Amino acid sequence: MAVAPPGSTVFINEIHYDNAGTDSGEAIEIAAPAGTDLSGWSLVLYNGSGGASYDTDALSGVVSGSPGTFGFVVVTYASNGIQNGSPDGIALVRPGGAVEQFLSYEGSFAATTGPALGLSATDIGRSEAGTEAAGNSLSLTGSGSTYGAFAWQAPAASSFGAVNPGQTFGAATPPPPPPPPPPTPCAVSPAVTPIHSVQGSTDVTPCAGSVVTVEGVVVGDYEGPSPTLRGFYVQEQDADADADPVTSEGIFVFNGDANSVALGNVVTVTGTAGEFQGQTQISGTTTITVTATDQSVTPASVTLPVATADYLERTEGMLVEMPQTLTVTETFQLGRFGEITVSSDGRLPQPTNVAEPGAPAQAVQAANNLNRLKFDDALQSQNPDPIVFGRDGDPLTAENTLRGGDTVTGAVGVMTYTWAGNSASGNAYRLRPVGDLSDSGLVPGGVVPEFVAANPRPTRAPEVGGSMQVAAFNVLNYFLTLDAGTNQCGPTGFTDDCRGAESAEEFDRQRTKLLAALLKLDADVLGLIEMENTSGVEPMADIVAGLNAVAGAGTYDYIETGTVGTDVIKVGLIYQPASVTPLGAAAV
């Protein structure tokens, strides 16, 4: 089961689990559109030390409020009723057992029992230290109508049963009813069960908990100890595939630290069907028998954009080919996890770069979401060495880089639904073009996709005419308050850890490099990103003072904003008064 809470319209909105002394007033608040029937919904509490559930609380009734608004349901607990983290978690569960949200505090963990079995909790990133007075809570702030529009904040005065301070709800519609159960039950054969029968026609196997025997060709081999995937992918031979386009013919076999198969082997596997991290798998294998070698299958053809968010479920575990020319649209996690994101028809735009904020930008984002796919390596490790995705099928080096806008055509790999081994890159469909059947030469392809340079780095900014330069610069956590000792940063009531330099020496080095870069830009208007957002601290004043010390008094000035929002970082503008004059009040 894949859990995607950002789009949820029924969600956990406020939590209190710890305070100084005996915990009191513990509660969990659910926000939902007015008119939502919560009958059959439940909250399941989890202990992170072992991943087991320890309490279940049924929800009921219809959420009150005027049509188009949000209402709240609050579940209260006796003293010390909610465990105090390091870590612990909460699952919000729909009727029928589907998990709508699985959140944790003070870290993440995987559930070992209950409805969230096999899922990893998403850490909300905020916690109660147990030193705050009773009457505080963790709550969401922001503006929107889905969970992903809001952000968790540090402990502040609780507001159970009402809109949180700093929170604005948009128009709301009740969520659709839960989907019907799979129409076809698992039909386990005493001999061999087709893989498409084990996969079923939804994202959850109908054979969960059943011992099954499957047979097919090894199309992806990722065996061995961690940080490998610790298993292999087996796919039904072409002659045995069914005619149903929504049932996958591939499946993952978890094999621990063993190394039992090779690419192109035909294997018979007996084990227990289930889900792990949202991917259907066979585990607890009792037998793996190789019956033939050097066999192949026909890769399924996949193109972007896909029709729906779950469209790729039909190819989960299968060898696929992407005949299009795809473009590298994101490399943010390339160094950390060895993964990139590709898209069709060029790089994806930031929505507000091409559309007005609100519904137009949301429509662009929705289209972007259907036109992107991760390419990942064969490991679940951080900071891999080498990084396999460089140009021309060679690893990434200082001389052989990979740049946004580079392209790849005809990539072949196994379509997986996995994480990167860390919650910073969670469960998603990922093409694994390394360790797949094409590496063996049994199907066309190559060991690593051949990325082609298609976006040369300019040596200078293009000449565009005009008389004014407007630029933007990410100052990378420019904090005047050092990240040292007990220092806290952020607006009053929303303080949190500082994120900038840890020593005066480190800050001086950062400041010197930043001022040199900004002076070289010589922009008339300059937007700055990731500056400290602490009450009574103004990093733009420091930056402007440093610039004017070199460029001359009055050369630069800044727009005074005070603190912006509730995060510890903010955006801002500096400008050259000789070129431009501010008008009106500052707005974000």
- Condensed to tens digits (0 to 9), the pLDDT of residues 18-58 reads 999 888 899 999 999 988 889 999 999 999 999 999 999 99
- Condensed to tens digits (0 to 9), the pLDDT of residues 425-457 reads 999 999 999 999 999 899 888 889 999 999 998
Q: What average pLDDT does range 279-301 have in this prediction?
A: 94
d(CA 511, CA 504): 10
Q: What is the pLDDT of residue 184?
A: 57
Residue 61 in any domain: the answer is: yes
pLDDT greater than 60 at residue 168:
yes
Burial class (CB in 10 A: 0-12, 13-18, 19+), 174: middle
pLDDT greater than 70 at residue 1:
no
Identify the three-state secondary structure at position 215.
Answer: strand
Taking residue 460's Cβ as centre, other Cβ atoms within 10 Å add up to 5
Q: Give residue 555's Cα distance to chain centre.
A: 42
Q: What is the pLDDT of residue 198?
A: 95
My answer on whether 18 and 148 are in the same domain is: yes
Find the range with the poorest average confidence among 57-66, 219-228, 338-347, 546-555: 57-66
My answer on whether 232 and 219 are in the same domain is: yes
My answer on whether 443 and 523 are in the same domain is: no
Q: What is the pLDDT of residue 183?
A: 47
Domain count for the chain, please give it. Answer: 4
My answer on whether 17 and 132 are in the same domain is: yes
My answer on whether 308 and 278 are in the same domain is: no
Q: What's the DSSP call for residue 440?
A: G
Taking residue 374's Cβ as centre, other Cβ atoms within 10 Å add up to 20
Residue 220's pLDDT band (cuts 50, 70, 90): very high
pLDDT greater than 50 at residue 287:
yes
Q: What average pLDDT does range 238-252 have in this prediction?
A: 95
Residue 462 in any domain: the answer is: no
Q: What's the DSSP call for residue 48?
A: T
* Closest listed residue to residue 345, CA positions, set 321, 327, 323, 372: 327
Q: Which positions ≥6 away from 46 have C-beta within 8 Å? A: 52, 53, 54, 88, 89, 90, 91, 104, 109, 111, 114, 116, 121
CB of 46 closer than 8 Å to CB of 116: yes
Torsion angle of C-alpha atoms 341, 345, 348, 351, degrees rounded to 10: -150
CB of 326 closer than 8 Å to CB of 342: yes
Using alpha carbons only, what angle is made at residue 262 by residues 257 and 265, rounded to the nearest 5 degrees?
130
Q: What is the pLDDT of residue 181?
A: 46
My answer on whether 366 and 402 are in the same domain is: yes
Pairing of strands 407-418, 373-376: unpaired
Taking residue 33's Cβ as centre, other Cβ atoms within 10 Å add up to 21
d(CA 216, CA 251): 10
- Condensed to tens digits (0 to 9), the pLDDT of residues 531-545 reads 999 999 999 999 999
* DSSP-assigned letters across all residues of 526-568: EEEEEEE--TT--HHHHHHHHHHHHH-TTS-EE------SSSS
Q: Which positions ≥6 away from 481 have C-beta within 8 Å? A: 487, 489, 498, 500, 532, 534, 537
d(CA 353, CA 480): 30
Residue 176 in any domain: the answer is: no
* Closest listed residue to residue 28, CA positions, set 112, 101, 107: 101
My answer on whether 315 and 446 are in the same domain is: yes
Mean pLDDT, all residues of the chain: 92
- pTM score, whole prediction: 0.62
d(CA 501, CA 121): 31
Residue 283 in any domain: the answer is: yes
* DSSP-assigned letters across all residues of 224-245: SSTTB-SEEEEE--GGG--S-T
CB of 215 closer than 8 Å to CB of 266: yes
Residue 461 in any domain: the answer is: no
Residue 338 in any domain: the answer is: yes
pLDDT greater than 90 at residue 468:
yes
Q: What average pLDDT does range 512-526 have in this prediction?
A: 97
pLDDT greater than 50 at residue 307:
yes
pLDDT greater than 70 at residue 3:
no
Residue 185's pLDDT band (cuts 50, 70, 90): low
Highest mean pLDDT among 285-289, 400-404, 444-448: 400-404
* DSSP-assigned letters across all residues of 276-311: ETTEEEEEEEEEEEEEE-S---PPEE--SS-SSTTG
pLDDT greater than 70 at residue 342:
yes
Q: What is the pLDDT of residue 173?
A: 62
Q: Give residue 428's Cα distance to chain centre.
A: 8
pLDDT greater than 70 at residue 474:
yes
d(CA 323, CA 445): 11
My answer on whether 518 and 388 are in the same domain is: no
Q: What is the pLDDT of residue 286?
A: 80
Owning domain of residue 110: 11-169
Burial class (CB in 10 A: 0-12, 13-18, 19+), 365: middle
As given in the structure block, the two tokens for residue 14 are 């406020």
Q: What is the pLDDT of residue 532?
A: 97
Q: How far is CA 213 from CA 150, 233, 497, in A?
A: 45, 14, 52
What count of Cα atoms within 13 Å lies in the side-chain half-sphere of residue 127? 18
Residue with tokens 């519609």: 173
My answer on whether 320 and 441 are in the same domain is: yes
Crossing angle for the helix pair 504-521 and 539-551, to the nearest 10 degrees: 60
My answer on whether 350 and 497 are in the same domain is: no
Of 298, 323, 338, the one marking the end of a domain is: 298
pLDDT greater than 90 at residue 483:
yes
* Closest listed residue to residue 33, CA positions, set 77, 73, 87: 73
pLDDT greater than 90 at residue 7:
no
Residue 69's pLDDT band (cuts 50, 70, 90): confident
Residue 215 in any domain: the answer is: yes
Of 420, 452, 484, the one marking the end of a domain is: 452
d(CA 81, CA 74): 14
- Condensed to tens digits (0 to 9), the pLDDT of residues 104-161 reads 999 999 999 999 999 999 999 999 998 988 899 999 999 998 898 999 999 999 999 9
Residue 138 in any domain: the answer is: yes
Of 298, 319, 336, the one marking the end of a domain is: 298
Give the whole-number percent of the chain exceeding pLDDT 70: 96
pLDDT greater than 60 at residue 87:
yes
My answer on whether 54 and 130 are in the same domain is: yes
Q: What is the pLDDT of residue 2?
A: 36
As given in the structure block, the two tokens for residue 560 are 């005074």
My answer on whether 58 and 97 are in the same domain is: yes
Q: What is the pLDDT of residue 106?
A: 94
